[in-house]
Every structure is written in structure tokens, then in C-alpha cells.
Chains A and B, each alone.
Chain A
Amino acid sequence: MPHIKVNEDLPGIRSLMAFSPETAAPMGELANLLLRTNEGLTMAERELIATYVSYLNDCFYCQHSHGAIVTCYLNDHNELVNQVIKDLDRAPVSDKLRALLHIAGSAQKGGKFVTDEQVKTAKRFGATDRDIHDTVLITAAFCMFNRYVDGLASQTPTDMSSYPLRARQIAERGYGNHIFINKQPVAEEQQG
């Protein structure tokens, strides 16, 4: 049960954003700027970093929400997220992305865990300053989102079929207030 009184029809961060729309606006904007661009890193790669960090923070709602968005961007190829989580060193990602995911894993523990060596490796595989910056800021942002979601014990949907439906909303329209203002998506066979 959530620690504060929120709209029970809304899951996870959506219920918190509806509780506090004023703070939701800049958070949605930050998510769009960090996750909805292909500059340097693709949108799928950015969401993969978000998913990996949420997994490390043990935030079920965020991990599965963003994992579903990765899958959506990869045309429903749903193996990659599990491969990265299970064994990052063997997962079929580019050397650059692997190096950046290692940086994300360190920054999740604490900023000081990111080593010069990790950064050097990422740069050797072609990561730009901007890629490294965005990796660390996506990690930091998800350390915020994960804590917000779990620190207030917001509701986590147990129906796993609901995650791809919400992911599609994000893939189509991006982040923003529509995710808590509009009616939550339901599967076609459940409608009417």
C-alpha cells in the first residue's frame, strides 16, 4: 500500500505525478531530453541504461516499465534486456554500450565508484564526452525515479501484460503529463 493517499487507479510513478503535477512537469521534461533522442546513443540504448540501473536498484516497476520500452523500440525483440541483466560481459551489445553500462553500474552504487579506467575504456570504444555525460545523468536520474517510486511504496502492477501497453504509450508519445491524465491503457480484448 502506498505511504500516502494517491489515486489507486494509477500505477507506480504515474500515481505520484498525479499527486504532484507541478513537480511531474520538469521530471517528464528531463526524461524526454535524456531518453527521447538518438544523438550519440539511440533511444533503445538509453532506455537499456535506465532499465539496467532500475534493476540494480531493485525497482520492479521501473525495471519492467523501461524494459518493455526497450523491447518496443527493438520491434518486440525481448531477449536483450534479460541478456544484459544476466551477464553484461556476454550480452550482444556493442563494446561502447557495454563500457557505458559498466559506468552506469558503478554510478548506481555511488558516483565515486566510476573509475578513470572505465571512462578510458568507454572512450577507446568511441564514447564521446556527451555519451559519458548522458550515461551518468541517466543513471543519476533513475536513482531519483527509483527512489521516488519505492520510497513512497507506490503500487506495482502484478499483471505483466500491462507493461507493454504502457510502454507503447511512451514509445508513441514520449513522456509527459498524458501518462497520468489520460485513461490507463487496457488490452483490446478487455475493452468494452
Chain B
Amino acid sequence: MPHIELESHLPGITGLLEYRKDTGQPIRELTQILMRGSSTLTEGERELIATIVSHGNQCRFCTTAHTAAADLLLGEKATTRAVKEDIESAPVSGKMKALLAIAKATGKNGKLVTPQMVERAKAEGATDAELHDTVLIAALFSLYNRYVDGMATAMPDNEAYFDTLAERIVHHGYTRLPQGYDHLKQ
């Protein structure tokens, strides 16, 4: 049960962003810029970063949601599974391996990102903007993971919820739905 009273039809992060809409707005905006704004990293690659960080922070809601979003964007489920198991043997580019390692370290603590890890990413072709965005996405999901679990938000009743959520994240993005979320009430 959540630590505070939240709307029961909104599990995970959505209930929190609706609880205090004013703080929800810049959190949504930051996410939209980082995850859907112009970038040389694909949306699928950015969702992989969100997935690996949420997985490292053991946040079940966020991991399931962003795995579903990454799967939808990549058109298969093998990559997310492999990345969560072992970055180095996963079927992603050398640059993505280096960036995912940086993201995973950042998720634990920023100080764990070493100059060697950064050098490796640069040698694989990562730009300063890509390094910046990787670290900030990892930092942002460290916020989300603590917000969602620190308030003990509910998991949805059925797994199909995440398919709908992934569709929304991929096709609509991270901004608030203009009509709100009352249509999700049973």
C-alpha cells in the first residue's frame, strides 16, 4: 500500500505525477527532452539506458515499463533481456556497451564513472552530448526509481497494463495526456 493516499487507478509513477501536478510537470518535461528530443542516440537506445538503470536500482515498476517501451521500439525482446543479464555480451554496438556501463555506474553513484570508462566510450565514437545525456538519463531514472519505490506505489493488477503504458510512452511520449487519466478508471 502506498505511504500516502494516491488515486487507486493510477499505479506506479502516474499516481505520483498526478498527486502533485506542479512538480510532475518539469519532471515530465525533462524526460520528454531527454528521451524524445533530438539526439544522436535512438529512442530505443535511450530506453535501454532507462531500463539498465531501473534494473540496477531494482525498481520493478520502472524496469518493466521501460523494458516494454524498449522492446516496442526495437521490435524484439532479446536485446533488453541480454542487456539486463550482461552488457558486454549483449547484441548492441561497442559505443552502446560503453554508454550502458557508464549509465549503470551512474545509477549506483556518479563517482563510480571512471575516466577509463569515459575514454572507452569516446574511443567507440561517443560524443560529449551523448555522454552528457547518458549520465543525465541515468540520474533522472535514479530519481524515478526512488520516487516510485520510496512512496511504495502499487504495481498494476495485470501485466497488460505495461503494454498499454509502452504504447503511450512510444506513441505519445512523456508529457501529460491532455485529457488526464480518468479514462483508466474501471
A residues at B contact (CB < 8 Å): 1, 3-5, 16, 19-20, 22-23, 25-27, 29-30, 33-34, 57-59, 103, 106-108, 110-112, 114, 116, 119, 129-130, 132-134, 136-137, 139-141, 143-153
- In the complex, chain B residues whose CB is within 8 Å of the CB of A141: 143
Given pairs A140-B147, A148-B139, A150-B111, 12 additional interface contacts (CB within 8 A): A5-B128, A26-B33, A111-B57, A114-B3, A116-B3, A130-B20, A132-B4, A143-B139, A144-B140, A147-B109, A147-B110, A151-B102
A-B contact count (CB 8 A): 149
B34 CB-CB contact with A under 8 Å: yes
Q: B24: shortest Cβ distance to chain A, in Å?
A: 10
11 A-B pairs whose Cβ atoms sit less than 8 Å apart in the complex: A3-B131, A25-B29, A58-B109, A110-B149, A144-B143, A146-B110, A147-B106, A148-B110, A149-B110, A152-B110, A152-B113
**Smallest Cβ-Cβ distance to B102: which chain A residue:** A151
**Smallest Cβ-Cβ distance to A28: which chain B residue:** B26
Q: A3-B113, A107-B150 are in contact. Are A22 and B20 (CB under 8 A)?
A: no
- In the complex, chain A residues whose CB is within 8 Å of the CB of B149: 110-112, 114
How far, in whole Å, are A118 and B110 apart by their CA atoms in the complex?
A: 28
B30 CB-CB contact with A under 8 Å: yes
B8 CB-CB contact with A under 8 Å: no
How many residues of chain B have a CB within 8 Å of chain A? 48
- B residues 126-175 near A (Cβ < 8 Å) are 128, 131-132, 135-136, 138-140, 142-152
A30 and B26 contact, CB distance less than 8 A = yes
How far, in whole Å, are A59 and B106 apart by their CA atoms in the complex?
A: 13
How far, in whole Å, are A19 and B135 apart by their CA atoms in the complex?
A: 13
Q: A145-B139, A146-B110 are in contact. Are A23 and B3 (CB under 8 A)?
A: no
Closest CB pairs A-B (n = 8): A111-B149, A150-B110, A151-B110, A111-B150, A26-B26, A129-B4, A147-B139, A144-B143
**Smallest Cβ-Cβ distance to B140: which chain A residue:** A144
How far, in whole Å, are A139 and B3 apart by their CA atoms in the complex?
A: 15
How far, in whole Å, are A58 and B145 apart by their CA atoms in the complex?
A: 19
Q: A57-B109, A111-B149, A153-B113 are in contact. Are A147 and B128 (CB under 8 A)?
A: no
**Smallest Cβ-Cβ distance to B30: which chain A residue:** A26
Set A16, A111, A130: member contacting B146, Cβ < 8 A: A111
A23 and B136 contact, CB distance less than 8 A = yes
How far, in whole Å, are A112 and B148 apart by their CA atoms in the complex?
A: 9
B23 CB-CB contact with A under 8 Å: yes
- In the complex, chain A residues whose CB is within 8 Å of the CB of B27: 26, 30
